[in-house]
């Protein structure tokens, strides 16, 4: 993962980052929540938000206190309504390419995060917002949320990895339809095509997402990191290469204390106590 700069304030023995556009929290179970907090612009992603999101992700990924990360948007209307159109409108081609590379880098960091990252989709997830959700490992959405890639309606294309991730998640047929039509789709349709993992009523979104996150907190952290890595590498190579990676990773996991603990706990009919090593 790439680190990037941010205003760091030293507060006794803890590192506290002074966010302009995010709210961050870590609860006692090890669930970190990163909330994009620009509700007046429906949490649209500008360069500053992208930089802070990257910093918050790096901080959560490196913290011993964090097991699972949730990304969501402030307010009850929008997850993220896209890249900030105002910021992009007058970009030069060079600036636009750099902007795309910046966003792609941040979202690649999310996808390669060693800890599970859940997108809690609480409303509009459009353009760069849906691209952000697709970079997360699991997506939970509330009924009534609207998802889509409206870029072709602006005579653009998705520029933060959307043309690549959507087809890998839902297949080329649905991806072409979503990208070419620029339509917004209801979360129930996104769930039907497999883009959304779990669909819940709006007033149960937080509870359902926390329940999922708590389940992941109980799993072996090294095993989850290894599984995520195998899946990601598998997406970039073929089946045979992927299975070789899996076999190597499976063997390496037998060097971990946690794998012995997991199997012995099963045999001894008790709950495992994982240390993350």
Q: Count the site residues for ligand DAK by CB under 6 A.
A: 24
Q: Does 52 bind ligand DAK (CB under 6 A)?
A: no
Nearest to 232, CA basis, from 219, 245, 221: 245
Q: Does 150 bind ligand DAK (CB under 6 A)?
A: yes
- Find the shortest distance in angstroms from Cβ 156 to ligand DAK: 5
Place of tokens 């039907």: 192
- Interface with ligand DAK (CB under 6 A), residue from 30, 73, 128, 221: 128
Site string (17-36) toward ligand DAK, x via CB under 6 A: --------------------
Place of tokens 């990895």: 161
Site string (87-126) toward ligand DAK, x via CB under 6 A: ---------x--xx--x--------------------x-x
Catalytic-labelled residue, pool 131, 143, 225, 243: 131
Q: Are 265 and 247 in contact (CB under 8 A)?
A: no
Q: Does 81 bind ligand DAK (CB under 6 A)?
A: yes
- Interface with ligand DAK (CB under 6 A), residue from 86, 171, 201, 276: 86
Distance, in Å, from the CA atom of 88 to the CA atom of 65, rounded to the nearest integer, reads: 37
Catalytic-labelled residue, pool 87, 151, 236, 268: 151
- Find the shortest distance in angstroms from Cβ 61 to ligand DAK: 24
204 is catalytic: no
- Interface with ligand DAK (CB under 6 A), residue from 160, 178, 185, 274: 160
Q: Does 49 bind ligand DAK (CB under 6 A)?
A: no
Give the tokens for residue 250: 């499976």
Residue 13: how many other CB atoms lie within 10 Å: 5
Q: Does 83 bind ligand DAK (CB under 6 A)?
A: yes
Give the tokens for residue 28: 């006692």
Angle between helices 93-111 and 128-135 (to 10 degrees): 30
Q: How far is CA 275 from the centre of its chain?
A: 24
Q: Which residues is 138 bridged to in the sheet?
A: 118
Q: Are 226 and 244 in contact (CB under 8 A)?
A: no
Residues in the chain: 277
257 is catalytic: no
Helices and strands (H and E) in the chain: how many: 11, 12
* Cβ-based nearer residue to ligand DAK, 44 or 70: 44
Distance, in Å, from the CA atom of 241 to the CA atom of 228, rounded to the nearest integer, reads: 16
Instruction: Catalog residues that contact ligand DAK under the rule CB under 6 A.
Output: 41-42, 44, 81-86, 96, 99-100, 103, 124, 126-128, 150-151, 154, 156, 158-160
Active site residues per annotation? 131, 151
């Amino acid at each position: 993962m790439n680190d990037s700069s941010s205003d760091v304030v030293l507060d006794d023995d803890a590192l506290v980052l002074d966010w302009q556009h995010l709210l961050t929290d870590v609860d006692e179970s090890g669930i970190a929540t990163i909330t994009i907090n620009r509700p007046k612009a429906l949490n649209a992603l500008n360069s500053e938000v992208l930089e802070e999101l990257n910093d918050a992700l790096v901080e959560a990924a490196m913290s011993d206190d964090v097991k699972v990360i949730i990304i969501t948007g402030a307010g009850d209307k929008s997850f993220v309504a896209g890249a900030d159109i105002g910021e992009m409108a007058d970009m030069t081609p060079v600036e636009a390419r750099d902007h795309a590379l910046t966003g792609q880098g941040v979202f690649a960091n999310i996808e390669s995060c060693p800890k599970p990252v859940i997108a809690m989709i609480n409303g509009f997830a459009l353009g760069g917002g849906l691209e952000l959700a697709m970079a997360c490992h699991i997506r939970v959405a509330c009924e009534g949320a609207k998802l889509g890639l409206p870029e072709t309606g602006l005579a653009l294309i998705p520029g933060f990895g959307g043309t690549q991730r959507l087809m890998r998640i839902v297949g080329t047929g649905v991806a072409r339809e979503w990208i070419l039509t620029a339509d917004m789709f209801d979360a129930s349709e996104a769930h039907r095509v497999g883009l959304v993992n779990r669909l819940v009523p709006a007033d149960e979104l937080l509870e359902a997402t926390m329940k999922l996150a708590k389940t992941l907190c109980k799993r072996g952290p090294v095993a989850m990191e290894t599984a995520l890595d195998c899946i990601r590498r598998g997406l970039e190579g073929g089946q045979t290469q992927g299975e070789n990676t899996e076999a190597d990773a499976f063997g390496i996991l037998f060097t971990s204390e946690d794998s012995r603990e997991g199997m012995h706990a099963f045999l001894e009919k008790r709950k495992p106590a994982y240390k993350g090593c």
